[in-house]
Amino acid sequence: MRITCRIAVVLAAVLGASVVISTAAADKPVKTVFSNVTFSSTMSGVCSFDVNVDSVVSGFEIDYFDAAGNFTKATVHQTEQDTFTANGKTLTGIPYTYDLHVLVDSSGNATSVLATGVAEKVPLPDGSLFVSAGQVQFLDHPGATFILSPDRGNPGNVAGFCAALAP
pLDDT for 143 equals: 86
* pTM of the predicted model over 0.85: no
More confident residue, 17 or 160: 160
Q: Report how far residue 145's alpha carbon sits from residue 3's, in angstroms, rounded to the nearest whole number.
A: 5
pLDDT for 26 equals: 58
Q: Report how far residue 120's alpha carbon sits from residue 95's, in angstroms, rounded to the nearest whole number.
A: 8
For the cut 80, the answer to whether the pLDDT of residue 15 exceeds it is: no
**Cβ–Cβ < 8 Å for 119, 15:** no
Q: Report how far residue 61's alpha carbon sits from residue 19's, in angstroms, rounded to the nearest whole number.
A: 15
DSSP string, 11-23: HHHHHHHHHHHHH
pLDDT for 68 equals: 87
Instruction: Give per-residue pLDDT as tens, 103-122.
Output: 999 898 999 999 999 999 99
For the cut 90, the answer to whether the pLDDT of residue 155 exceeds it is: yes
Q: Where are the domains positioned within the chain?
A: 4-165
